[in-house]
Structure 1
Amino acid sequence: SIDFSINPLSGQIPSSISSLTFLNHLNLSNNNLTGKIPLSTQLQSFNALSFIGNKLCGLPLSNNCIINYANPNKENKGSKHNGGLEVDWFFVSMALGFVVGFWGVCGPLLLNKQWRIMYFEFLDHMGYKLKNLVLL
């Protein structure tokens, strides 16, 4: 038996609580819990009074959860502030990483003739070693 009623708990009910099979009574009433009650035979078997006083939805409560899908026709809040132009920083950082990585390796080979000769001699040497290893 667990009684967490009238506590300052907030957020969603963790789904791991549904794996507690030894519970015969659970009281989460009068907290600041939000979201959907995790689906399990354990949690749905409790009385709705165990969850009252929270902003929860789903069984055993009578209010159903409403899934709020984003409307693709509406503008995002951020797009109004910067003239409709959204910057996806993931792709910016990926492009920047590619450019820095490419020029970090290829730049010295293009600009320094001695390094270029040593690099390709090293690759030839490793190729011969690999060929000999495979042939043995």
Structure 2
Amino acid sequence: MVQRLNDLFWPMDVREILKIHTSSRQRQDFFAWHPEKNGQFSVRSAYHLATTVHDDQFAGGASSANPDGNRPIWNLIWQSSVPLRMKHTACRAASGALATATCMQYRHLATRSTCPICGIVDEDSYHALIVCSHARAIWEA
């Protein structure tokens, strides 16, 4: 095993890898969804996480340049065990950079900021991904 590590990594990395203690239980690794106690992913827990992130964002946690250096939303996004493309989408949503009707109107690329699907309210990231009746139908499916 050490020879294989030496073939793949630098010597200083091999020394650090060899310091890792493995479990004595010899259990197989598995993916776990950290917001749930049982580790199982559910649309309900993802919805709850998304609404919590939105509430935290408007409580002052979304800035990547908080004066105290605390970055809970960004840490939550980048430390999550989801595909990279989902992390990028979450970052764009948290920073207000998704191509929503409100964003498009702000950039003078659209004349209306109303949600094109429900037509009721202005479409921002939170509305498009969580609140809109069509988005909610997907989350609840």
TM over 0.5, yes or no?
no
Give the structure with higher Rg (CA).
Answer: 1
**TM-score, structure 2 as length reference:** 0.20
**TM-score, structure 1 as length reference:** 0.21
